[in-house]
Amino acid sequence: MEQLILAVEVCDTANEIICVPNSVNELFELPFAGFLNRTIILTIFAALLVAAMLFFGLRRRSLVPSKFEIIVESMVTFVRDEISVGIIGKEHGLKYFPYLLSLFLFLLVGNLFSVTPFIMFPVTSRIGLPIFLALVTWVLFVLAGFKEQGFGYLKGLVWPPGVPVGIKPLVGIIELVSVFLVRPFSLAVRLFANLVAGHVMLSLLLASGWVFLSGAGGLGKVPIGFGWFTLGLGIYLFEILVAVLQAYIFTLLSAVYIQTSVHPEH
Amino acid sequence: MLKVYAAQLLLAVEVGEEAEASGTDLLLPAQSELIAGIIAFIIVFVVVWKFAVPALNETLEKRQSAIKGEQEAAAAERAEAASLREQYQKDIANAEAKASEIVEAGRKDGMAAKADIIAKAETEASAIKERAQAEAAGERERAEGALRREVASLSLDIAEKVVGSGLDRGASQALVDEFIADLDGAQA
């Protein structure tokens, strides 16, 4: 059980199966790498993986693509046609395509780390990355709003057209809060919370399954461990879906937010 | 290996339990991780912006022009094939017309030759016939002359015997001839 205390400074390994660290950040520290913790290494690794995938998938510019090139191309064209052009429109969509593509691929790889053997840790389950990306989206859609509509963007939010005058101030305040505060917050937290929840659930089921299966709780409880482990494997498959879906949702909502800034609602 | 793996999982479980104890740690971004995230995203964005998007556009354009080129080449080939077929059909029609012309000419030549042969044969036949008739007529004249002379001579002989002698042979001959000539005139 000594491996269980990898990141914990003080732990009574003789009596405790699970040791609680003083700070949650201790869990991600590596004993040998100084300031480089797991999150930092994996975040950079995810970026390099995306870069390599794009490089090897597109460098040949081949007329007849290989299987790998087809996969990369179809992901890229999916973001371009279904999200960028499909949501924002032909006129403005291609302008935001590089950002949306970066977003989608980076989040996809980062999320899928939660179900990658020997990694099993989504970098997006640390709040830093979701907050940063949500802020970039926020800055982009606010800038797009002012660029395309000028001051009318803010006016359209505060004094929304097509709403009875009596409740305009109320709707205006709701809109203002919703667009400028709730949007980035929900964007970041949705991703972060989904990935944390999935990761915790997966860890809990697989780990307790493993603990019971190994006979730590007595031989009579081995079947319980089997049950947990099986359920954990089911959740594992579910987590693959969640990882892809959350990357898609984050990208899609970013596109939708930009679209509502570019084309004012009537 | 498995043990280490399980250990990592167990450590990760702590996140959930720890949230109660030090939840703010979980919700506030660690500065170093935030910086790493920014750097990582910039790496991805630069690769996408400077490489992936232009590469994709180039690939799609290349593919589009290749397909267009192939389509155009196919259309050109089709047009060529159509014109060739038209040419062949024209050639075949020409050949057929020429063949029937030749046959017609042959038939005409044959007919002409036949008519020619028949005409020649007819001419020859009528010539032969005329010659035969002429010959026959000559023969007859010759026979008639001889007969006449014979008759005259005989008549004179008979008359000499009847009258006795003394008949002027020359004058009697002339007389007989005249008589016969009268006979001829009466016959005609």
Biggest alpha carbon distance in chain A?
72
Residue B181 near chain A (CB below 8 Å) = no
Closest CA to A225 of A237, A211, A209: A209
| CA closest to B58 among chain A residues | A61
pLDDT at A25: 66
Residue B57 has pLDDT above 80, yes or no: yes
pLDDT at A221: 81
Residue B58 has pLDDT above 50, yes or no: yes
Q: Which two tokens stand for residue A100?
A: 């949306």
pLDDT at B21: 45
Residue A44 near chain B (CB below 8 Å) = yes
Triad A88, A91, A92: Cα angle to 5°? 50
pLDDT, tens digit, for every residue of B119-158? 999 999 999 999 999 999 999 999 988 988 888 888 878 8
Instruction: Work out the percent of chain B whose per-residue pLDDT is above 90.
Output: 57
Phi, psi for residue A214 in degrees, rounded to 5: -75, -5
Residues of B in contact with A239 (CB under 8 A): none
Are the Cβ atoms of A97 and B12 closer than 8 angstroms?
no
Q: State the DSSP code for B168.
A: -
pLDDT at B179: 77
pLDDT, tens digit, for every residue of B72-120? 999 999 999 999 999 999 999 999 999 999 999 999 999 999 999 999 9
In the three-class reduction of DSSP (H, G, I as helix; E, B as strand; rest coil), residue B166 is classed as coil
pLDDT at B4: 47
| Enclosing domain of residue A85 | 41-262
Position B21 in a domain: no
Closest CA to A250 of A197, A199, A183, A177: A183
Closest CA to B42 of A3, A143, A136, A151: A136
SS (H, E, C) chain A: CHHHHCCCCCCCCCCCCCCCCCCHHHHHCCCCCCCCCHHHHHHHHHHHHHHHHHHHHHCCCCCCCCHHHHHHHHHHHHHHHHHHHHHHCHHHHHHHHHHHHHHHHHHHHHHHHHHCCCCCCCHHHCCHHHHHHHHHHHHHHHHHHHHHHCCHHHHHHHCCCCCCHHHHHHHHHHHHHHHHHHHHHHHHHHHHHHHHHHHHHHHHHHHHHHHHHCCCCCHHHHHHHHHHHHHHHHHHHHHHHHHHHHHHHHHHHHHHHHHHHHCCCC
Q: Which amino acid is at A64?
A: V
| CA closest to B56 among chain A residues | A58
Given B14, B16, B39, which is nearest A21 (Cβ)?
B14
Q: Give the closest-approach CA distance of A208 to chain B in angstroms.
A: 8
User: Domain count of chain B?
Assistant: 1
How far is residue B26's CA from residue A28's CA, in Å, rounded to a whole number? 11
**Window A:61-100, CB contacts with B under 8 Å:** 61-63, 73, 76-77, 80, 97-99
Are the Cβ atoms of B32 and A37 closer than 8 angstroms?
yes
Position A75 in a domain: yes
Query: Which residues contact residue A188 at a Cβ distance below 8 angstroms, ignoring those fewer than 6 apart?
Result: A127, A130, A131, A133, A134, A135
Residue B71 near chain A (CB below 8 Å) = no
Whole-model pTM: value is: 0.70
Are the Cβ atoms of A43 and B15 closer than 8 angstroms?
no
Burial of A98 (0-12, 13-18, 19+ CB in 10 A): buried
How far is residue A254's CA from residue A177's CA, in Å, rounded to a whole number? 17
Radius of gyration of chain A (CA): 23
Phi, psi for residue A196 in degrees, rounded to 5: -65, -50
pLDDT at B40: 95
Position B118 in a domain: yes
Position A25 in a domain: no
User: Domain count of chain A?
Assistant: 1
* Tens-binned pLDDT, residue by residue, of chain A (266 aa): 333 434 344 555 555 556 666 666 666 666 665 667 888 999 999 999 999 999 999 998 888 889 999 999 999 999 999 999 999 999 899 999 999 999 999 999 999 999 998 888 899 998 899 999 999 999 999 999 999 988 889 888 888 888 888 899 999 999 999 999 999 999 999 999 999 999 999 988 888 888 888 877 677 788 888 888 899 999 999 999 999 999 999 999 999 999 999 987 64
- Backbone region of residue B164 per phi and psi (left: phi > 0; alpha: psi in -120 to 50; beta: other values): left
Per-position DSSP letters for B116-150, written without gaps between them: HHHHHHHHHHHHHHHHHHHHHHHHHHHHHHHHHHH
Position A4 in a domain: no
Comparison of pLDDT for A130 and B176, the residue scoring more: A130
Position B154 in a domain: yes
CB A56 within 8 A of CB A68: yes
Report the run of H or E that residue B41 belongs to, with start and end: helix B31-46
ipTM metric: 0.87
Q: Which amino acid is at A238?
A: F
Are the Cβ atoms of A207 and B10 closer than 8 angstroms?
yes
**Window A:142-201, CB contacts with B under 8 Å:** 196, 199-200
Torsion of CA B24, B26, B29, B35, to 10 degrees: 150
Query: Which residues contact residue B40 at a Cβ distance below 8 angstroms, ignoring those fewer than 6 apart?
Result: A43, A44, A46, A47, A106
Confidence class for position B18, pLDDT limits 50, 70, 90:
very low
Position B67 in a domain: yes
- Chain A / chain B CB contacts < 8 angstroms: 181
| Enclosing domain of residue B85 | 30-187
Are the Cβ atoms of B36 and A43 closer than 8 angstroms?
yes
How far is residue A253's CA from residue B135's CA, in Å, rounded to a whole number? 133
pLDDT at B187: 65
